[in-house]
Amino acid sequence: MLKVLSALRLSYLNSLKLTARRSNFSTECLYDESITKFISENTEIVVDHNLTPEIKLRLFTPNCRFWFERPEFWPFEDPYWAIYWPGGQALSRYLLDNPGVSLGKSVLDLGCGCGASAIAAKLCGANRVVANDIDSVATLATCMNFKLNGLESPVCVTDDMIGSDPGNFDLILLGDMFYDEALSYNLHTWLEDCIKTHKSQVLIGDPGRAQFEELAFQSRLKKLAQFELPKPVREENYGLNCSSVWAALCKPRHLSGHESF
């Protein structure tokens, strides 16, 4: 039974990848009715118990099948998008509290997951929002979440944008992306490049993950805000009490006389 499911899952994933590859840099979200239906059936619309009750999101809750179900039955990639990570929460909260940061800007939400930060930017009047996630189911979930909040779908990109030309975005958002050693290293290198060549403003939301604290990049970061996590989030993410937002500076902190933006 499991072998059949794995085979089905693989063929489904492959067909998704084919669909994703057909999308180029600036296409609308590819709408797939069956996956959308699957997402609807296996998530619940959540409006509270996180830092941004203003944003509606489709997430895993104890009322959902896959809160308890055997993970082998999940037919897609690991659904990072079905969880509202503390790093992303802080970033979205900061954007909503400081609408001037997003207003009129072109924004890239890298590793958008559920799309909360992209939504926050759009709600504050961002001119152009691109939601990027290598998991095409995540971009689909992001589109659904945009619609849930009364917004038009953003531009979605499923290519791995780390290492590529970021194409002149004013603002690059990274919500809870520094949890893996290899990923952190790649991001670090790419971000330095983005700042130097494009003068993009980079905002990072992180709850104090080990990989983030150990970044050599740390001297280039300025803490903008810190939020205490609500009790349900603390319970779901043991060991994390608060989550902060950081801005990346063009020059190391000890050398820069003033902020870069």
Partner 1 sequence: MSGRVLVGVKRVIDYAVKIRVKPDKSGVVTDGVKHSMNPFCEIAVEEAVKLKEKKLIKEVVAVSCGPQQAQETIRTALAMGADRGIHVEVSGKDYDNLGPLHVSKIMAALAKKEEAQLVILGKQAIDDDCNQTGQMTAALLDWPQGTFASEVTLEGGKVKVVREIDGGLETVKINMPAVVTADLRLNTPRYATLPNIMKAKKKKIANVKPSELGVDLTSRLEVLRVDEPPQRQAGIKVETVDDLVGKLRETGSI
Q: Any contact of residue 80 with partner 1 (CB under 8 A)?
A: yes
Q: Any contact of residue 84 with partner 1 (CB under 8 A)?
A: no
Q: In the bound complex, what is the minimum distance in angstroms from residue 90's beta carbon to partner 1?
A: 14
**Of 79 and 166, which has the nearer Cβ to partner 1?**
79
- Give the interface size with partner 1 as a residue count (CB under 8 A): 23
Q: Within positions 219 to 258, which residues make up the interface with partner 1, using CB under 8 A?
A: 236-239
Residue from 67, 160, 216, 255 binding partner 1 (CB under 8 A):
67
Residue from 21, 25, 28, 69 binding partner 1 (CB under 8 A):
69
Per-residue binder mask for partner 1 (CB under 8 A), 162-181, x = binder = --------------x--xx-
Quick one: three-class SS letters along the chain? CHHHHHHHHHHHHHHHHHHHHHCCCCEECCCCHHHHHHHHHHCEEECCCCCCCCCCEEECCCCCHHHCCCHHHCCCCCCHHHCCCHHHHHHHHHHHHCHHHCCCCEEEEECCCCCHHHHHHHHCCCCEEEEECCCHHHHHHHHHHHHHCCCCCCEEECCCCCCCCCCCCCEEEEECCCCCHHHHHHHHHHHHHHHHHHCCEEEEEECCCHHHHCCHHHHHEEEEEEEECCHHHHHHCCCCCEEEEEEECCCCCCCCCCCCC
Stretch that binds partner 1, among 9-17, 61-69, 97-105, 193-201 (CB under 8 A): 61-69
Question: Binding residues for partner 1, per CB under 8 A?
Answer: 60, 66-71, 74, 78-80, 82-83, 85, 176, 179-180, 209-210, 236-239
